[in-house]
Structure 1
């Protein structure tokens, strides 16, 4: 509790300054900058819609993220392990990967049978690139001595990949997972504003369209809590999977 005291004090000070600047002194123009009371009122009055939007965003995000992780791990292992896969795969990564997933929205809206599927595909694409790159890097940089020892002990190719290369690449893989999760947040919000009829991104655009800026800030608060929770969960998973590197990892 003592370690949380500075953060709690900072939060109280922030809320007091927010109330003073917006509601008392009115230095910031209404309705674009409502006071904390108006935001809290929006959270309370619209909690059902916000809960439903959060649930739909979670389903979209987890679906796209899982698909992107599976595709990224598969392509990353192939590119990192096989010279032939690296020869054909790296040019594709260098051309397609740097393009923001949101830039594919017009094409996705045309090709996909539904906005939901297009949103899932865009999130998967946003996750796929960093996971593939970091997985391939980790696999290809596996120490040769580890592989030589495993071969000496009779390990076949499957053993070398799944018991040596992938465990050795796990720190790099988790960096890709974190980068992919961050990219998926941005893609989710943008994708939900251009066709999906539910979700936090949709709610944000709807509230802004009606100049309900108390609801806009309420949605931003929910987003911050939502995304922060997912990041925390991934950190917990990383700490558990990489328990053998405790004290070595600094991020």
Structure 2
């Protein structure tokens, strides 16, 4: 049952204008109503923050940001208002495209529940402080971390991005190259694949003592760990994709005069591309985990370093702020990988569900 039914049951929709299709009119009316429901949860969170009385005693600080005086609660309301405007804009943007409209409507219940969850969290964590403090601060307290030291968080985010980019890109390139060699050449498979299976199951962090000894800087040591954890899934799935290429494809290509380089780059690799992207997506999660753990153990910067430093001072609202940045970064990286995959594998549209 749609969330719309909770609000519109028993209520009559407006009548269509003369000459307008009744089916199209009802569809548009439902879309507008469900789009309103999509932001209602976040509007509720704003109202709760404004109207619910502050029972627990808290220290209110005023921060100067770009000439504006902001408190943590005011900054929180601004963030919520930005989310409301974002989803309202997406609603208008999706209105004229059936596919985007369907995708937008599919997330309405989640957005509505997210707003209500924020409202409840605000009551329990900020207004009443019934949650264990300082381990579970309210959402406005987490926003305050960005007001207090947003520049420092941004610097650590850039450090993490630089380290992740170097390690992940190198790991993917190394993994694809290794997988092609293993999947195509039987002799390389004989000698390298057992090593891949043995070393691949070892957590990358276990190599940290050796990495810190072998590499001259903590940055290069952490990049090596990310390369190791990204290399295994990409190489393994690439090798499987290359080795599972049907022989008939090679026979047809050879009949047309194709040589070995053509068979590798125009037959085997395109066939293995879906599995390569599966390996890249899997490696992304492993690499991000290794990134954070390596930054907690000897790096001079990064979000993991920021979490470790904040934990020492029991500033758990800063820990949650770093976790929020990590979640946004990871989602953005997955979005980029998905966009590249959709572009490269556009031939699958309509073929693969």
Residue among 193, 202, 212 paired with 1:99: 202
- In the aligned structure 1, how far is the partner of 2:352 from the partner of 2:309? 42
1:247 corresponding residue in structure 2: 350
Q: SS where residue 129 of structure 2 aligns? A: coil
Residue among 215, 229, 232 paired with 1:126: 229
- In the aligned structure 1, how far is the partner of 2:142 from the partner of 2:126? 12
How high is the TM-score relative to the length of structure 1? 0.96
How far does residue 29 in structure 1 lie from its aligned partner after superposition?
Answer: 1.3
Q: SS where residue 46 of structure 1 aligns? A: helix
**Does residue 166 in structure 1 map to residue 269 in structure 2?**
yes
Residue among 213, 233, 236 paired with 2:316: 213
How far does residue 43 in structure 1 lie from its aligned partner after superposition?
Answer: 1.9
- In the aligned structure 1, how far is the partner of 2:249 from the partner of 2:206? 41
**Does residue 51 in structure 1 map to residue 154 in structure 2?**
yes
Q: SS where residue 197 of structure 1 aligns? A: coil
Unpaired runs of 5+ residues, structure 2, are: 1-90, 92-103
Alpha-carbon deviations, 1:48-102, whole Å to 9, x = none? Answer: 1111111111110010011101110111000001110110011101111100111
Alignment map for 1:1-251 (pairs within 5 Å): 1=91, 3=105, 4-250=107-353
Q: SS where residue 135 of structure 1 aligns? A: helix
Q: Considering only CA atoms, is the larger Rg found in Structure 1 or Structure 2?
A: 2
The alpha-carbon distance between structure 1 residues 137 and 39, as it changes in their structure 2 partners (threshold 3 A), is: same
How high is the TM-score relative to the length of structure 2? 0.69
Q: SS where residue 26 of structure 1 aligns? A: coil
- In the aligned structure 2, how far is the partner of 1:241 from the partner of 1:77? 18
- In the aligned structure 1, how far is the partner of 2:259 from the partner of 2:112? 58
| CA RMSD after TM alignment | 1.2
- In the aligned structure 1, how far is the partner of 2:160 from the partner of 2:281? 18
Alpha-carbon deviations, 1:151-190, whole Å to 9, x = none? Answer: 1111111000001000011001100010111110000000
- Preserved contact between residue 126 and residue 140 of structure 2 (Cα < 8 Å): no
Q: Which has the higher contact order (CA 8 A, sep 6+)?
A: 1
- In the aligned structure 2, how far is the partner of 1:247 from the partner of 1:219? 40
- In the aligned structure 1, how far is the partner of 2:284 from the partner of 2:152? 25
Unpaired runs of 5+ residues, structure 1, are: none
- In the aligned structure 2, how far is the partner of 1:62 from the partner of 1:14? 34
- In the aligned structure 2, how far is the partner of 1:218 from the partner of 1:247? 41
